[in-house]
Amino acid sequence: MATTAKPSPSDYTTEAQSIITSLLPGGLCADQAWHKLAALTDTVGNRVCGSPSLERASSYMLSVWQAEGFDNVHGENVTVPHWHRGNEECTMLNPRLGYRMQILGLGTSIGTPEGRPVEAHVLVVRNFDELAALGKAGQVQGKIVLVNYACDWSTNPVGCYGACTKYRGEGASRAARWGAVAYLVRSLASASIGSPHTGMQTYASSKAEDQIPAAAVTVEDAEALARMQARGEDVVLRLSMGAKNLPARQARNVVAEWRGRELPDEVVLLSGHLDSWDVGVGAMDDGGGLAISWQALSTLRALHWRARRTIRVVGWVGEEFGGIGGRQYFDDHREEKVVLVIESDMGAFRPRGLSFSGGEEAASVMAEVGSLLGGINATLVARDGKGYETDTQPWKAVGVPGASLLSENERYFAYHHSHGDQMSVLQPGDMDLAAAVFAVTAFVVADLDEALPKGDERGEGGKGKMKEEKERRTMRKGNAGSGLAVS
């Protein structure tokens, strides 16, 4: 079936329904997204920047996309950091001799000197104010600092992340400034079964005095150490970390298209990131985002529909170290006519709709697109002026309309960056609905008579700030996701 261009999203009711039907249980494309992602993650596992498995994953994706018959399947080089975790061990020497704590070093952390154990007394603080006060009092010198910042995750299971990221991201150098020998942070997590959660941290500078080893401990251990200190007990740990920052490596953003039938040089972009942390398999963060983007393209192909414009899927690399692949892609493609950038990086759970960033005119078109998703209860088109995801941020910053998936992601931070980020977190039926949101949105916007109007340029922000910006915005996203801050 070929369609004729139409002036308004509301003219696409039939097409939208066909896409949705093909992704509902028993439909032509049902259950595919989850199983395709399972095959990737079961085969390749996790895909941390600089690892051979990330390269294998890129090759895997290009190969299956070629086999599926997409257009213009190719990789695009991106230089990414290469951080290697190495062996890690944290054992309590006092008060509970021999207790082996579950830890995960933070991305970009250095190891302990020559990977050998550091033994030191622990100082537990609740926040940076306490750290600074105790630092000034000379209490931090020679200590292992643990920041046990407690956010009420039970009432704010997504939003707390934004409130906590600075403790993971900046704490090591802050503690180093006061003479700490290592830095521990309470895992940023909405639930725990003795589970540490890793993530990126950033040293204030490359100077040795700003750099000490940094790791996440479990919520349970953070609370236990705080109690021990409150009882006046002397807490002593032996920490060894073999982490290393190795020379940067080449990785590849992966690209596939379903070329437009009339305006192939105009592009609607669908995306998720292919890289992950080196624990779990990165099924949720962000295999799911990539899989629903991919499934949207597969569905249009299965229906034999080509929109007027090209629909392109990109699997980013380097997201976990600061949106590197997204930035590189923007730098290489900024002259192209990109009509809409779509991304999912907050969990491909049951969709509520989209968060939209762009001008008023485009927003009203997008709201009409949202109405096409009434049959699956995903009509929400929330506006926060920016969008939450990292990799499409450069486009949005120059006024290109952007959308990201809003889903029932209240459990996202139970699994995020942990051994638990595996296929069991995701549900086939929910991923199909999310793919339907992406497919309908991409197809309609790519097919409309007129391109979605561009909004105002609003300045890009610093390159290195992209990831942190995402994390700050997560605070607001928690609200939008719950429908509290929707315009």
Query: Any idea which residue has 């906590």 for tokens?
Result: 164
Q: How far is the CB of 150 from a copy of itself (least distance, A)?
A: 11
> Which of 403, 423 has the CB closer to a copy of itself?
423
Distance of CA 211 to the CA centre of its chain: 25
> Which of 177, 350 has the CB closer to a copy of itself?
350
> Which of 259, 350 has the CB closer to a copy of itself?
350
d(CA 202, CA 109): 8
> Which of 260, 280 has the CB closer to a copy of itself?
280
Residues found near a copy of itself in the complex (CB under 8 A): 38-39, 42-45, 95-96, 99, 102, 191-195, 218-220, 223-224, 227-228, 231, 279-280, 414-415, 418-424
Q: How far is the CB of 75 from a copy of itself (least distance, A)?
A: 22
CA–CA distances in Å: residue 457 to residues 104, 460, 464, 466:
40, 8, 19, 17
Does residue 319 have an active-site annotation? yes
Q: How far is the CB of 45 from a copy of itself (least distance, A)?
A: 5
> Which of 223, 336 has the CB closer to a copy of itself?
223
d(CA 264, CA 447): 11
Q: How far is the CB of 469 from a copy of itself (least distance, A)?
A: 28
Q: How far is the CB of 362 from a copy of itself (least distance, A)?
A: 39
> Which of 44, 378 has the CB closer to a copy of itself?
44
Catalytic hit among 319, 343, 469, 471: 319
d(CA 179, CA 146): 13
> Which of 42, 332 has the CB closer to a copy of itself?
42
Q: How far is the CB of 308 from a copy of itself (least distance, A)?
A: 38
What amino acid positions are annotated as catalytic residues?
A: 319
